[in-house]
Amino acid sequence: MSLLELKDESAGYNGKEILSGLNVRIEPGERIALVGESGAGKSTLLRLFYERLGAKAALMPQDSALVQALTVFHNVYMGRLHQRSVWRNLRNLVLPARDDVEEVRKVLIPLRLEEKMFSGVGQLSGGQYQRTALARALFHSGDVIVADEPVSSVDEHQAREILEAMNTQKNTVLLAMHDRALAIEFADRIIGVKGGRIVMDRKSAGMTPSDLDSLYVNADA
């Protein structure tokens, strides 16, 4: 059974239609990258996927969206906020429980964030910040991750590390990416968005970044 299917649907926000004529079917285990110019509607499409998937998916928003006043532990713990009682959540806010700390630690170790567990997220470097946002999504128990430009503000080495972690720890990966080479390398299916429509949907095997040129060239130019 497919994970998600869109049949001639449209999407937008604030009553403004941005995407239309959407036909997509996503199977479990796929690794899909959305590519296209900024403003083409990648984020809108990703958001539509996320809304359909509900609690099955963890979201990694474009701006990381960490809570500044909280520690790394608290921000990561938020990935399972929906699975715990309010009392448990309140307790962990004030005094983190040992077993929850251990659970969070397991996610932080491979991301090299263990020592930062109880630092405020305001003190983190750009890469650590992005990895904390990833850790939160990985801590989420759903096996789908929806990530909007997850590696936009880190260097290539860290970008690979983050994408690698997503691919190994989540079954299905849905990404919006502006780096074409990385998109082809880490995704097995590329969806190209242009002018409010899906104009390309194919396997990435054998593709080169220049195959995506048509998505970026302005048709009127």
Give the binding site for other proteins (CB under 8 A): 54-55, 57-61, 63, 65-70, 74, 77-84, 86, 89-90, 93, 133, 136-137, 140, 142
Residue 119 CA to residue 27 CA, distance in Å, equals 39
Shortest distance in whole angstroms from residue 136 CB to other proteins: 7
* All residues at 6 or more sequence positions from 161 whose CB lies less than 8 Å from its CB, including other chains: 131
Residue 2 CA to residue 88 CA, distance in Å, equals 35
Between 41 and 142, whose beta carbon lies closer to other proteins? Answer: 142
Shortest distance in whole angstroms from residue 94 CB to other proteins: 10
Between 68 and 210, whose beta carbon lies closer to other proteins? Answer: 68
Shortest distance in whole angstroms from residue 213 CB to other proteins: 32
Query: For 63-199, where are the alpha helices, taking DSSP H only?
Result: 72-77, 86-94, 98-108, 126-139, 156-169, 180-186
| Cβ atoms 133, 66 nearer than 8 A | yes
CB atoms < 10 A from the CB of 208, how many? 10
Residue 89 CA to residue 92 CA, distance in Å, equals 5
Shortest distance in whole angstroms from residue 68 CB to other proteins: 6
Shortest distance in whole angstroms from residue 206 CB to other proteins: 35
Between 166 and 198, whose beta carbon lies closer to other proteins? Answer: 166
Between 86 and 95, whose beta carbon lies closer to other proteins? Answer: 86
**SS3 state of residue 39:** coil
Between 137 and 173, whose beta carbon lies closer to other proteins? Answer: 137
Amino acid at 32: I
Between 86 and 221, whose beta carbon lies closer to other proteins? Answer: 86
| Cβ atoms 119, 72 nearer than 8 A | yes
Shortest distance in whole angstroms from residue 52 CB to other proteins: 11
